[in-house]
Amino acid sequence: MNSYSINEFINKTGPKARPREVFGLQSERILEVDLAGEVWAKIGAMAGYTGNIAFERERALEHGVERAFKKTFTAEGQDLMKASGRGRLFLADQGKRITILDLDGQRLTVKGEDLLAFEPSVEWNIEMMKKAAGVMSGGLFNITLHGQGKVVITTYFEPLTLPVYAGEPVFTDPAATVAWSGDVKPEFHTDINYRTFLGRGSGESIQMKFEGRGFVIIQPGGSK
């Protein structure tokens, strides 16, 4: 067959077989949802679908007064949409790499912009990092998910997971930090000296510090 033919292109780029579970990867950058009920996803992430699926923006009080208050007054937590019905739903986020994680009772905190989708069985809340230095980095609020079900995150390029051990803290760039496990304690760490104020610092004056036991997921790209 002609390698440049339309039929060859369709064969190479057409949908794969349905995933065995609710979430499956059509490619590293396209998530397929085998929908038979509902899922929550990042608003604007729908790339295409087949079947009978309806989309509804998260209502103001759908997840309780406390979370509505946080979203209103922090502009954080990522707007969500509920996809419901039956069909094949394809989700993507600006070509970012997609990773599916099964919580299996564990707790995971994700930056709102890096959360693509999660099953309705997953519990979630918006968490605030209270240290004042966070204001300078624009990273005060994150989404903590826990319980049973799958969560889908996105990263720029290949993610790297750094283990955190007791007494051996891990430091990361806030813009490169994607998610971390529930057993580590994050805080903002500053490394400001006179060179910083003279404009001769390295540009890495604000960092995230993780202590405890667990892991941190970072990415090689992200907005500064």
User: Could you read off the pLDDT of 181-202 as tens digits, one per residue?
Assistant: 999 999 887 765 444 444 444 4
Span 105-126, average pLDDT: 93
Instruction: Identify the residue whose tokens are 């949908």.
Output: 15
Q: What pLDDT, on a 0 to 100 scale, did the predictor assign at position 221?
A: 73
Question: Are 90 and 128 spatial neighbours (Cβ–Cβ below 8 Å)?
Answer: no
Please name the helix (run of DSSP H) or strand (run of DSSP E) that holds residue 133, with its range, or none.
helix 133-137
Give the pLDDT confidence score for residue 192 in this predicted structure: 54
Token couple for 68: 């509505």
Distance of CA 223 to the CA centre of its chain: 14
- Mean pLDDT, range 40-52, rounded to an integer: 95
Cα 123 from Cα 63, distance rounded (Å): 10
* Ordered domains of the chain (ranges, CATH): 18-218 (3.60.160.10)
Residue with tokens 């720029």: 156
* pLDDT of amino acid 131: 55
Provide the pLDDT confidence category of residue 79 given band limits of 50, 70 and 90: confident
pTM reported for the whole predicted model: 0.82
